[in-house]
Amino acid sequence: MDQTSILYASLSFVFLLLCLNLLFQSKKQPQNLSPSLPSLPLIGHLHLLESPVHHFYHRLSQKHGPVFSLFLGSQPFVVVSSSAVAEECFTKNDVVLANRQKLITGKHFGYNYTISTSSYSDHWHNLRRIGSIEIFSSSSLNAFVAIRKDEVQRLLVRLSQDSCQGFAKVELKSMLNDLILNNIMRMVAGKRYYRDEVKDENEAREFREVITETFRKGSTANRAEFLPVLNWFGKYKKKVKKIGKKLDGLLQKLVDEHRRMKQENNDNGSMVDHLLNLQQSDPNYYTDEIIKGLMLVLILAGTDTT
């Protein structure tokens, strides 16, 4: 194939993508969006983004008003820069804004959008009920007071040992990270995966690596999330799927281990054990997928936000 044919084929392909994009946006774009800026086909306003993003949004709000729309690729966004409007969004109109974007990470990390990125529905209400009554109730949290005290005491001992020779610089970020992760993991699964007293070092190392990869992919936006056509050429989706499978395997291993311990009357009273008790009473709803999804939410949300 000569260069002219390649050029024509490339132009035809780009033209086809533009037509598909215009057709897709005309069908999907809401009719009552707030004012927006002029955009480009396919990429929308992606080319306008600047860092830091919140400063960029502030500059746009001064020019276009407190509420305006942006299209980041195929994804529509509404930017609210007024505290009064933001309060109205999350009080009077919270149900309208309850759903989240269907991202690649939500599909492969969140069990096909069934847990952390679940749409507002009866299933969402059930998950909220499980969290407020079964997991985050006062009795459940009080049951793990000893774990939290023990982890804080371990941290204080480490700090004391580091300063036994006098004043010394201490890198607190990694220590606090270990404190929170061990705290969460002991409550969720009864295991320590960071620092001392790790029973299975290989399992702990694999868990740490997968959690780090999950944080890295889940906390940063990728162009493929906004331009689905990039999934045809890039490796982002494949990498997310691979991490999701590894993560699911580790969580399933923990569930199976606690199920076996429960059969041997040797459970440690962790949240996984409590969820397995609920599974016995209602196996059709409390599937392993629901349990693993709740475990992942507790681990990621409990550590990343902290």
Which domain CATH number covers 245? 1.10.630.10
20 and 54 belong to one structural domain: yes
CB 46 within 8 A of CB 224: no
71 and 129 belong to one structural domain: no
Question: Looking up tokens 């690649």, which residue turns up?
Answer: 104
Sign, CA torsion 257/263/268/272? positive
30 and 159 belong to one structural domain: no
- The answer to the question of residue 146 being in a domain is yes
31 and 156 belong to one structural domain: no
pLDDT tens for the chain, 306 residues: list them: 566 666 656 666 666 665 655 555 544 555 577 888 888 887 888 888 888 888 999 999 999 899 999 998 878 889 999 999 999 988 888 888 888 788 888 888 888 887 778 888 888 888 888 888 888 888 888 989 999 999 999 999 888 887 777 777 888 888 888 899 899 999 999 998 887 777 888 888 998 899 889 888 877 778 888 887 777 777 888 999 999 999 999 999 999 999 999 888 887 789 999 999 999 999 998 999 999 999 998 888 877 655
Query: Which residues 6+ apart lie within 8 Å of 81 measured at CB?
Result: 57, 58, 61, 66, 67
Question: Looking up tokens 């969580």, which residue turns up?
Answer: 251
- What is the spatial distance between Cα 182 and Cα 282, in angstroms, rounded to a whole number? 30
Eight-state DSSP code of residue 34: P
One-letter amino acid identity for 132? S
85 and 129 belong to one structural domain: no
- The answer to the question of residue 109 being in a domain is no
* Domain coverage including residue 26: 3-97
Count the domains in the chain: 2
- The answer to the question of residue 29 being in a domain is yes
